[in-house]
Structure 1
Amino acid sequence: MEASFRPVSFLFLAFLFLPNFLFFFFCAGLSELRCIDTERQALLSFKQHLIDPSNRLSSWTAHGDCCLWEGVVCHNLTAHVHQLHLRSFYPVWDASMSSEQFDAEFEAYRRSRFGGKLNPSLLDLKHLNYFDLSFNNFNSTAIPSFLGLMKSLTHLNLSNAGFVGLIPHQLGNLSSLRFLNLESYEAYGLYVNNLEWLSGLTLLQHLDMSWVNLSKASDWVQVTNTLSSLLDLQLSYCQLRPFIPPTPTVNSSSLLTLDLSGNNFENTLIISRIFGLCNLVSLDLSYNHFQGPIPVDLQNMTSLSHLDLSRNNFNSSIPNWLYSLSRLEFLNLGGNNLQGTISSAIGNLTSAVSIVIDLPSNRLNQEVSKILEILSRLYRLETLGLRHARLSGHLTDVLGKFKKLVRISLRNNSISGPLPVSLSNLSSWTYLDFSYNQFNGTIPQSFGQLSKLEILFIGSNMLKGVVSEVHFSNLTSLKYLSAFGNQLTLKASQNWVPPFQLENLYLQSWNLGPKFPPWLCSQRCMQYLDISYTQISDMAPPSFWNLSSQFYYLNLSHNLIHGEIPKSPLILSAFAIDLSSNHFKGPLPCISSNVYLLDLSNNSFSRSISHFFCFKVNEPKIIVHLNLGKNLLSGIIPDCLMN
């Protein structure tokens, strides 16, 4: 028995350990896999014709393993180059970001963009399926037609890469393509004569041609209708022709997302004749010229979760069937001429996360508290805009019933009464717009507890009283404050340093004087400042003028500010500057060539004007509006004025 048992045991153990042995052997071989030599040479040739100002491709060396190079992804078994990730990353605005940070990131992005031209050596990458060149700067060159020979591509992204001219029809040969993005950074820099070439892309699921000039593509409906795999179609701002096609409906039942915003449509028959897309989840028809009633055909799109009809000319009442679209999460009807009232049926939109409605033609005042009471049932609601709706009455404590609301705009209504003290309980709020109403009384000190508030608009109301440091005590996130047109007085100590860093501040008609507010000098991110008509009768300190280069808009007009503006090298460089109706004296300040509007009138500026007009005489000036009237200027008007 022992003799017969041993061979069986040996075979059993051999089969038991053979898979592990093979796996070890195979992985050991894999670890030594390097990219294919022909593909490395193709990439090096491609690099030679690229402009790489920040040396992002420094790892692309002659004897290196291209599978380890920046932006290159190889197949983990064959080592063939499968993907090229060569996009440049346009900075995304973040609410926590200062203007300086964004400017620095934008400058870094601008300097990191690839340029030059695309080398046909890419054709040697026979297995490349993913190619992303988006957000680069190919300096107004044409998209090379040889890209249409790269048959293995499934993902091609050339968006915002600086290409212009006719889109080559050869791209229609990429029969494996599932993703194609040709969104044009240069608005209308890319164009087509027709879209017939798209018919060959039968597997295409995502197509974005936003800002591409499609005005000659009269076949856009018929061609996109043939793309049976298409899920996402983005054709915003494409100058699409507003015509009625011969086919009554669209058969692309697979389509889930459709964006036709910013085109020249006017007749709503386009919606009823073309887009009977019952499976559509997202529809954007904003910024067109649609007129009349909101088309009833939309009620068949029961799967919609995102509907944007804003910035059109719809001039009817809101139809009740719209409130039956129970899956709607996002609804924007802003910027239309809608009439009538907001129905209580709006409470049926229980999935809603964001609702924006304008009713500028509404002649029937509605009680704001009643509307808000209905909307408070929408337990998921995070954003609410009821602008130009002529809502009246007082703002009660009903806002406390919104559990998730973080952004609200009740702009341009007829809401009166005091601002509720209970607003301070809404500690998650980031955006609050109560401007252009009839709120009266004082600003509650409890506003100072809204620690997440970033944007506060309460301008053009009837608020009165004193605002102190307590009102701002915990507003550490505040970036935009617009409170103009009220009768408010700010009382703060001379050494007060606000807890925020503002970017926009509009306090015209407040009482900030008589001293110049020293706390303004602590605001290192300010770009827009308007403190006109604020009863300041003091000199602006040098530390304030040192901030002047960061301003885009600066308005100190109609005060009693006196003294001289410091001389060069300080240069006023804001796009728009209004220092009129003060007591400034001395020579005119030097201004940069970027100033567009300058009003220094009704002051006591004196001496010659030659240096003003002749400063950096060889630089082209863009100034369009200039007012130096009612000063004490003298001398000869120089020839430099001709510049």
Structure 2
Amino acid sequence: MASKASDVLTLFSIALPLLLFLPAVPLSSAACTKEDVTALLAFKNSFPPNTFPNSWGDASTSCCFWDGVGCTHGRVTSLSFTSDEYTNDVLPVNLKGTVPPSVGDLSALTSISISSQADLVGPIPTTWSKLIKLKYFTIYNSSISGPVPLFLSHFKSLQQLEINYCKLTGTIPPSLGDLANLRSITLGQNKLTGTIPSTLFSKLNKGLLANLDLSENQLTGAIPKSFGSVAFTNVNLQDNKLTGDASFLFGKSKPASQILLARNNLSFDLTKVDYPVKYLHYLDLNHNEIYGSINEQIREVLDLRSFDVSYNKLCGKIPRGGKFNPRFPESFIHNKCLCGKPLPPCK
């Protein structure tokens, strides 16, 4: 018995080094479905030759191992493309042409990210309405146009929507507010018009924090008062044509780290505002019609890194002390009668 055991150990000691040097066999190499391969090749063929690397279309390799493609259990669940340098499984390509409809045939897709594609044009195809499992939707810095797709309201799993630095037109669909998991909406730097729907985040699952960026559009009207009950960590509505009150976005216990409302036509009494004490880092209210004064409660904010109320109708002495010791007059100039450091002394 001892001799047999010794023989087994000897064979194992010989075989182990050989096993270590055998080529790795991708566990999902046979699992990439024909449906997904067909959709990816149609996507590739929508663009000029040599846009994609040779690995794309290699029949000997699972499509799960093509650059920019991510899989779960052999199904394509993510696509990531950028014209920037290669990082973290994102394929660096320059996509020139219209947005391909074939992406809609990737029925297991949960994430798509297309960034820095200035030559990608046209509207988002209606065939993408089949991507009902999508959780993360990002198109950043491209020339896509047309409206915000209405079919997005059918993506019940959608958590983050980002279509910014593009050429979207039309209004923001109120139906986006039907999505209980949609906690981040970024539609900044487009050409959107109309008012901000009061339905946004109205059905957001309790306990979820929200992010909203609608900056640099052509939005008009008032900020919905319903936003006062939303737990925003970030609100960026600057560079629009918004009017009316925005004081309900503030609150001592709110989680906001960034409130950017500059360059609108907002009008409210800043004296009555309580600033988010624990989390507020950036507050920009410049170029509005805001009146009143900067109240002493601003001194309680723990880590305020930027504060700008220039070009408004504020009066009174600028508070100092605690955590608030402003140094730059540019952040306070062109008000009705603000005074004290860093502006000239009060009379």
Q: For residues 126 and 141 of structure 2, what CA distance do their matches in structure 1 show? A: 20
| Residues 70-85 of structure 1: pairs in structure 2 closer than 5 A | none
After TM superposition, give the deviation of residue 402 of structure 1 in Å.
1.6
| Residues 369-384 of structure 1: pairs in structure 2 closer than 5 A | 370=100, 373-384=101-112
> Residue 180 of structure 2 is aligned with which of 451, 465, 471?
451
One-letter identity of the residue aligned with 2:107: Y
| Residues 488-499 of structure 1: pairs in structure 2 closer than 5 A | 488-491=219-222, 496=226, 498=228
Q: Does residue 321 of structure 1 match 2:49?
A: no
One-letter identity of the residue aligned with 2:151: S
Q: For residues 580 and 571 of structure 1, what CA distance do their matches in structure 2 show? A: 21
Q: For residues 163 and 224 of structure 2, what CA distance do their matches in structure 1 show? A: 28
In 1, are the aligned partners of 2:222 and 2:244 still within 8 Å (CA)? no
Q: Does residue 602 of structure 1 match 2:334?
A: yes
In 2, are the aligned partners of 1:571 and 1:590 still within 8 Å (CA)? no
In structure 1, the partner of 2:75 is: 351
Q: For residues 283 and 239 of structure 2, what CA distance do their matches in structure 1 show? A: 15
Q: For residues 478 and 418 of structure 1, what CA distance do their matches in structure 2 show? A: 26
> Residue 584 of structure 1 is aligned with which of 314, 331, 347?
314
Over the aligned positions, Cα root-mean-square deviation in angstroms equals 3.7
In 2, are the aligned partners of 1:405 and 1:429 still within 8 Å (CA)? yes
Q: For residues 571 and 522 of structure 1, what CA distance do their matches in structure 2 show? A: 10
After TM superposition, give the deviation of residue 605 of structure 1 in Å.
5.3
Q: 1:438 to 1:374 in 2, by over 3 A?
A: same
| Per-residue CA distance 1:205-230 (angstroms, 9 max, x = gap) | xxxxxxxxxxxxxxxxxxxxxxx89x
Q: 1:455 to 1:330 in 2, by over 3 A?
A: farther
After TM superposition, give the deviation of residue 531 of structure 1 in Å.
0.7
| Per-residue CA distance 1:539-584 (angstroms, 9 max, x = gap) | 1253x33425530111111112122211368445412222222222
In 2, are the aligned partners of 1:607 and 1:633 still within 8 Å (CA)? yes
In 2, are the aligned partners of 1:503 and 1:528 still within 8 Å (CA)? yes
Q: 1:536 to 1:380 in 2, by over 3 A?
A: same
| Residues 295-334 of structure 1: pairs in structure 2 closer than 5 A | 317-324=51-58, 325-326=61-62, 328=64, 331-332=67-68
Aligned length: 297
Q: What is the DSSP-based 3-state SS (H/G/I as helix, E as strand, rest coil) of the residue aligned with 2:334? A: coil
Q: For residues 212 and 134 of structure 2, what CA distance do their matches in structure 1 show? A: 20
Gap regions ≥5 residues in structure 2: 1-15, 33-49, 85-91
In structure 2, the partner of 1:279 is: 24
Q: Which has the larger radius of gyration?
A: 1
| Residues 356-395 of structure 1: pairs in structure 2 closer than 5 A | 356-359=80-83, 365-368=96-99, 370=100, 373-389=101-117, 390-395=119-124
| Per-residue CA distance 1:507-542 (angstroms, 9 max, x = gap) | 102344233442544971111110111211321253
One-letter identity of the residue aligned with 1:366: G
In 2, are the aligned partners of 1:440 and 1:462 still within 8 Å (CA)? yes
Q: For residues 576 and 281 of structure 1, what CA distance do their matches in structure 2 show? A: 50
Q: For residues 156 and 195 of structure 2, what CA distance do their matches in structure 1 show? A: 23
- Comparing 522-531 with 408-417, which one deviates more in the overlay? 522-531
After TM superposition, give the deviation of residue 326 of structure 1 in Å.
1.3
Q: 1:606 to 1:484 in 2, by over 3 A?
A: closer
In structure 2, the partner of 1:633 is: 345
Q: 1:433 to 1:364 in 2, by over 3 A?
A: closer
Q: Does residue 464 of structure 1 match 2:193?
A: yes
One-letter identity of the residue aligned with 1:587: K
Q: 1:353 to 1:433 in 2, by over 3 A?
A: same
After TM superposition, give the deviation of residue 600 of structure 1 in Å.
2.4
After TM superposition, give the deviation of residue 354 of structure 1 in Å.
1.9
| Per-residue CA distance 1:2-21 (angstroms, 9 max, x = gap) | xxxxxxxxxxxxxxxxxxxx
Q: What is the DSSP-based 3-state SS (H/G/I as helix, E as strand, rest coil) of the residue aligned with 2:195? A: strand
Q: 1:597 to 1:448 in 2, by over 3 A?
A: farther
After TM superposition, give the deviation of residue 328 of structure 1 in Å.
1.9
One-letter identity of the residue aligned with 2:52: I
Q: 1:385 to 1:364 in 2, by over 3 A?
A: closer
Q: What is the DSSP-based 3-state SS (H/G/I as helix, E as strand, rest coil) of the residue aligned with 2:235? A: strand
Q: TM-score, normalised by structure 2?
A: 0.72
In 2, are the aligned partners of 1:565 and 1:586 still within 8 Å (CA)? yes
> Residue 561 of structure 1 is aligned with which of 290, 314, 321?
290
After TM superposition, give the deviation of residue 592 of structure 1 in Å.
4.6
Q: For residues 438 and 531 of structure 1, what CA distance do their matches in structure 2 show? A: 22
| Residues 240-255 of structure 1: pairs in structure 2 closer than 5 A | 253=21
Q: For residues 450 and 326 of structure 1, what CA distance do their matches in structure 2 show? A: 34
In structure 2, the partner of 1:540 is: 270
Q: For residues 392 and 445 of structure 1, what CA distance do their matches in structure 2 show? A: 25
Q: For residues 143 and 113 of structure 2, what CA distance do their matches in structure 1 show? A: 15
Q: For residues 580 and 281 of structure 1, what CA distance do their matches in structure 2 show? A: 60
In 2, are the aligned partners of 1:532 and 1:558 still within 8 Å (CA)? yes
Q: For residues 186 and 66 of structure 2, what CA distance do their matches in structure 1 show? A: 23
One-letter identity of the residue aligned with 1:457: T
Q: 1:359 to 1:567 in 2, by over 3 A?
A: closer
In structure 2, the partner of 1:621 is: none
In structure 2, the partner of 1:397 is: 126
After TM superposition, give the deviation of residue 281 of structure 1 in Å.
6.1
After TM superposition, give the deviation of residue 474 of structure 1 in Å.
2.0
Q: For residues 350 and 467 of structure 1, what CA distance do their matches in structure 2 show? A: 41
In 2, are the aligned partners of 1:529 and 1:555 still within 8 Å (CA)? yes
Q: What is the DSSP-based 3-state SS (H/G/I as helix, E as strand, rest coil) of the residue aligned with 1:448? A: helix
Q: What is the DSSP-based 3-state SS (H/G/I as helix, E as strand, rest coil) of the residue aligned with 1:413? A: strand
Q: For residues 482 and 538 of structure 1, what CA distance do their matches in structure 2 show? A: 21
Q: For residues 417 and 482 of structure 1, what CA distance do their matches in structure 2 show? A: 19
After TM superposition, give the deviation of residue 352 of structure 1 in Å.
2.2
Q: 1:363 to 1:450 in 2, by over 3 A?
A: same
> Residue 410 of structure 1 is aligned with which of 123, 126, 139?
139
Q: 1:355 to 1:362 in 2, by over 3 A?
A: closer
After TM superposition, give the deviation of residue 606 of structure 1 in Å.
4.8
One-letter identity of the residue aligned with 1:518: F
Gap regions ≥5 residues in structure 1: 1-227, 230-250, 255-277, 283-300, 306-315, 334-345, 610-627, 636-643
Q: Which has the higher strand share?
A: 2
* Percent identity over paired residues: 22
After TM superposition, give the deviation of residue 409 of structure 1 in Å.
0.8
After TM superposition, give the deviation of residue 485 of structure 1 in Å.
0.5
Q: What is the DSSP-based 3-state SS (H/G/I as helix, E as strand, rest coil) of the residue aligned with 2:194? A: strand
Q: 1:358 to 1:602 in 2, by over 3 A?
A: same
Q: What is the DSSP-based 3-state SS (H/G/I as helix, E as strand, rest coil) of the residue aligned with 1:419? A: coil
After TM superposition, give the deviation of residue 493 of structure 1 in Å.
6.5
Q: For residues 222 and 65 of structure 2, what CA distance do their matches in structure 1 show? A: 44
Q: 1:606 to 1:584 in 2, by over 3 A?
A: closer
| Per-residue CA distance 1:224-254 (angstroms, 9 max, x = gap) | xxxx89xxxxxxxxxxxxxxxxxxxxx9647
